[in-house]
Amino acid sequence: MAATNMAKREEDTTMADVRKNANTMPAAEFENFIRACVILKSTIVGNAGGQPFSVYDQWVAVHGCIMGVRTPGSAVFRNLGHQNIGFLPWHREYLRRFELALQSVVPGVTIPYWEWPSGVPEPIPLFTNARAHPIFFTSSVLNAVGGLFALNGPAAPPAWWPPGFRWRIHPALQVGGSNILRRGSAANTWPPTAAIITSIENSNVGAGGNPYWTFWNRLESDPRTHNTGHNIVGGYMANPVFSPNDPLFWLHHSYVDRVWARWQLNRLAAQPGSSRTTHYPAPAQVNPFNGQVPPDGHRLNDIMWPWVGGLAGYSVNAAAAVQAMLPSFAGIQRRVRNTLDNTNMGGGLAGYSYT
Amino acid sequence: MATKKTKKPAARKAGPAKPKHVEYVLSKGSSRLLNARVDKEEIWLFVNGPAMLFGSARMLTSLDMPGGATFQAWKKLAASLSCTSLCGANGKTKIPVEVKPSRIGTSIEFSLGPMSMYQSVIVLKAKQTGVTLRQAIDDAFGNPKGAYSVVIVPEAATGHAEHDASIFQMGQPADGGHQHGEEGGGHHHG
């Protein structure tokens, strides 16, 4: 409990960017987030596979490519963003950079978080669906997302809506030939209770050694956490490669990151004199599950693709049209260790906090 | 005539309904031996990385053949169970519960869901409504008298590197499932 209170106090410190609860934040601020996504989605920056792609599509392509990256000297493609300890650092960097892209078109906007225990942020436009709630959780049928993302566009578009714009999935980023957003889950295993989340945020924070291993594993893989959230929403969200096609992805991962940030604060409070760096496994530390060192991209000092600062020898296992969408991060090199403090990420990313 | 007052039985306190299922998580470092002989009607397996981290699961018992673990008993048990995968990308899928004889004995085997780096929920239950897994198992093995156990043993996936995403064809569904056509004629903003 003391650790939790400490987390609260430290999070109260003022940061320029504050990520807020999607359920309770002012509607106008949430609309700004949607507006920024729509602007990025409607801003065409190139052509891939014979179809124009947008800034938003570029970010989807990055997530698709992280599924299979070959690092210099490696013989195989590996997932550098999931299923190991780098899951949290990579997504923190990815979200922050996407957030700054949003801010470039709507100043001051931040990524809201989907507070899992509260259920579904149903009242807000992102989730509005004429057939929404019962289907969302009980049907195995994938259904088109409604509201602003409806097949024929919003019935009453806001003033800022680009004329004629409809949210469509680029052919190279599609799953199963669906060019519209779909959701629909076969499972009914949501939401987690607040007690579950509190438990994870305090998971072994007072323990010796390095409890990050079990903390990360719980947050990514436990029932009713990250993986379940993707599965329960279904549709594009349930496809690991192109899940960011659904803007709910950002809210989902914002909450994942919030849980990590709160765990870090709780660990700092429970281990006086420690640092965020010491809370992350040391570079040569072996995985306690199998005695193996984590793969490239996951260790503390590893460079995280695609922010490799122009280093040669990286390649990705993706269709040419997907690779053609990748944005340039020339001159930017980021390591896992750079992401450990969300309030001060360096490298021009500044920082952010959570309500 | 005096009416006899009858004391009403005290109303049962309505507490939260007890879940009819038990949950197990299959992830890195999770338990490799899961109790299947439970007093619940369903077992929910939260499978992380189906077909990537986890391939299939076997059901084994501490009983020997003379104690009841005969081929026929396994066959009866397999026939009494149903298995379903709940996957957001592939929908609800029936999974066959198969009897696997070998040179050292018999077991039951079932897949842990269509390929994904995220998660599937596998629901294992008795086909007969209201029957617990313990009842189904005991019935199949002839209600053995002594203590015994029946466990589910998840197996690691094989065939590709743990993190190797080459099995994902970019732009294609993970396991070829749940195709759905375009709507709206494929209009793309421009």
Interchain CB distance below 8 Å, B28 and A289: yes
Q: Enumerate the β-bridge partners of residue B99.
A: B108
Handedness of CA A303, A244, B182, A136 (dihedral sign): positive
Question: What's the whole-number mean pLDDT along residues A130-154?
Answer: 56
Give the distance from CA A18 to its chain's centroid. 16
For chain A, the residue count is: 355
Q: Which chain B residues have a beta carbon less than 8 Å from that of A141?
A: 91
Report whether A344 contacts A96 (CB < 8 A): no
Q: Give the distance between the most distant pair of CA atoms in chain B.
A: 90
Question: Cβ-count burial of B113 within 10 angstroms (0-12 exposed, 13-18 middle, 19+ buried)?
Answer: buried
pLDDT of A35 > 60? The answer is yes
pLDDT of A11 > 90? The answer is no
Give the distance from CA A247 to its chain's centroid. 10
Interchain CB distance below 8 Å, B189 and A179: no
CB-nearest to A176 from B28, B48, B179 is B179
CB-nearest to A241 from B87, B164, B168 is B168
Output the CA torsion A61→A63→A65→A68 (10° steps).
Answer: -160
Instruction: Supply the pLDDT for residue A333.
Output: 98
Whether A294 contacts chain B with CB within 8 A: no
CB-nearest to A231 from B87, B162, B173 is B87
Q: Select the more confidently predicted residue: B9 or A219.
A: A219
Residue type, B125: K
**Residue B141: count of CB within 10 angstroms of its CB:** 21
Interchain CB distance below 8 Å, A51 and B188: yes
Which residues, 6 or more positions from A144, have their beta carbon under 8 angstroms from its beta carbon? A129, A150, A151, A180, A181, A182, B183
Q: Which chain A residues have a beta carbon less than 8 Å from that of B171?
A: 171-175, 242, 319, 322
Report whether B45 contacts B57 (CB < 8 A): yes
Identify the architecture of domain B21-176 in CATH. Sandwich (2.60)
* Distance separating alpha carbons of residues A232 and A243, to the nearest angstrom: 13
Q: Is residue B56 left, alpha or beta, with left meaning phi > 0 and alpha meaning psi from -120 to 50?
A: beta
Instruction: Supply the pLDDT for residue B12.
Output: 56
CB-nearest to B29 from A165, A173, A217 is A217
pLDDT of B166 > 90? The answer is no
Question: Cβ-count burial of A282 within 10 angstroms (0-12 exposed, 13-18 middle, 19+ buried)?
Answer: exposed
Question: What's the whole-number mean pLDDT along residues B172-176?
Answer: 37
**To 10 degrees, what angle do helices B133-140 and B71-80 make?**
150
For residue A238, name the pLDDT band (cuts at 50, 70, 90). Answer: confident
Whether A45 contacts chain B with CB within 8 A: no
Interchain CB distance below 8 Å, A233 and B168: no
For residue A209, name the pLDDT band (cuts at 50, 70, 90). Answer: confident
Interchain CB distance below 8 Å, B46 and A241: no
pLDDT tens digits along A272-302: 999 999 999 999 999 998 899 999 999 999 9
* Distance separating alpha carbons of residues B128 and B1, to the nearest angstrom: 52
Report whether A186 contacts B86 (CB < 8 A): yes
Q: Which chain B residues have a beta carbon less than 8 Å from that of A52?
A: 188-190
pLDDT tens digits along B100-154: 999 999 999 999 988 888 999 999 999 999 999 999 999 999 999 999 999 999 9
* Distance separating alpha carbons of residues A27 and B183, to the nearest angstrom: 30
Q: Enumerate the β-bridge partners of residue A48.
A: A51
Interchain CB distance below 8 Å, A79 and B163: yes
* Distance separating alpha carbons of residues B86 and B117, to the nearest angstrom: 14
ipTM of this complex prediction, to 2 decimal places: 0.86
pLDDT of B169 > 50? The answer is no
Whether A232 contacts chain B with CB within 8 A: yes
Chain A segment 142-171 residues within 8 A of B by beta carbon are 142, 144, 151-152, 162, 164-166, 168, 170-171
Residue type, B127: K
Q: Which fold has domain A17-119+193-229+240-354?
A: di-copper center containing domain from catechol oxidase (1.10.1280)
pLDDT tens digits along A308-329: 999 999 999 899 999 999 999 9
Closest-CA residue to B43 (of B51, B28, B31) = B31
CB-nearest to A186 from B86, B161, B184 is B86
Interchain CB distance below 8 Å, B89 and A241: no
Mutate to test the interface with B, among A179, A219, A224, A302 (most CBs of B within 10 A): A179
C-alpha distance from B12 to closest chain A C-alpha (Å): 26
Q: Which chain A residues have a beta carbon less than 8 Å from that of B183?
A: 144, 151, 178-180
pLDDT tens digits along B14-61: 677 788 999 999 999 999 999 999 999 999 999 999 888 899 999 999
Domain chopping of chain B, boundaries: 21-176
Domain chopping of chain A, boundaries: 17-119+193-229+240-354
State the pairing for strand pair A315-316/B119-126: unpaired
